[in-house]
Amino acid sequence: MASKTSKPKAAAKAKAAAKPKPKAKPKAKAPKVRAVRVAITIDCTRCMRPIAVDAIGPEVRCRACLHGVQVGSDRWLALIKEPVAAALKGADEGRSVDFGDDFTVVTRIDVAAPACRGCGAGIDAAALADARGVHPCACGVGQAVREADGLMHFIHKDALALAGERGSELETCEPVAFRCPRCATGLRTDGTTRAIACARCAGDVDVPDALWAALHPVRPHPPLYLLIGGKR
Ligand SMILES: [Zn+2]
Ligand SMILES: [Zn+2]
Ligand SMILES: [Zn+2]
């Protein structure tokens, strides 16, 4: 009986030896996704208020005065390319970069599991990277997700998406009355546009700085998450 079973066993062994070792299981198609948390503050070059960066693009807009601080690709790269690479290697550091001529930027870039800004629940990084538009949460607070663009690919070649950006639209407020700074006609603003048409001046006038700033208080912004794929 022993000989009966030993033969096929030996054959199987020989077969297994002849066969090249099965390669490590083919990796799942979706690469491992890592999330780098990006929190940046830039001083507005016009009103000097700190701007919590809520989107990564050529211009960072100050909601208090609507001024667009030109950051540009070169500066973004100087600001976050190296810290993102360092964070992926385990560094966790805040830094302040002074561009001298006009503005100072404070960055905090580290690897952290994404969390819902509404309820704090953890969000799976891979699911977030796959979402386009808004990644919903049971609490009702969605997280905006945008596919990585050229700038993000410059920041990290395996960038997949950027989550947590705020839309550029301004929140509407209850209409507030003010007087046209030129002719004193009564006007109203709901806070969504800076230029208001004045019938008497036959043109647009700007909502005065102080009123605009009061309508758009400086608020902190939750961090952005740069989602980065693994090696495929
Ligand atoms: Zn400003
Ligand atoms: Zn939530
Ligand atoms: Zn007027």
In sequence order, which residues have a C-beta less than 8 Å from that of residue 15 and are 6 or more positions away? none
C-alpha of residue 187 to centroid of ligand 3, in Å: 8
Considering only CA atoms, which of 83, 228, 87, 227 is closest in space to residue 144? 227
**Which ligand number lies closest to the CA of residue 202?**
3
CA 127, 85, 119, 165 torsion-angle sign: negative
**pTM assigned to the model:** 0.71
C-alpha of residue 198 to centroid of ligand 3, in Å: 5
In sequence order, which residues have a C-beta less than 8 Å from that of residue 117 and are 6 or more positions away? 141, 143, 164, 222
C-alpha of residue 211 to centroid of ligand 3, in Å: 16
Q: Which protein residues have a CB closer than 5 Å to ligand 2 (ion)?
A: 116, 118-119, 137, 139, 141
Task: Give the H/E segment covering residue 10.
Answer: helix 2-18
C-alpha of residue 76 to centroid of ligand 1, in Å: 19
Percent of the chain predicted with pLDDT > 90: 36
Q: Where are the alpha helices (DSSP H) in 38-166?
A: 72-76, 82-88, 125-130, 150-155
Placement of tokens 């090249």 in the chain: 20
Q: What is the pLDDT of residues 130-181, one digit of tens each?
A: 998 999 999 988 899 999 999 999 999 999 999 999 876 667 778 899 999 9
Identify the pLDDT of residue 2: 44
One digit per residue, pLDDT tens: the chain, 232 residues? 444 444 455 555 555 455 555 555 554 454 589 999 998 888 888 888 888 888 898 888 888 888 888 888 888 888 888 889 989 988 776 677 666 656 678 888 888 899 998 899 999 999 999 998 999 999 988 899 999 999 999 999 999 999 999 876 667 778 899 999 999 999 999 988 889 999 999 889 999 988 888 888 777 778 899 999 975 4
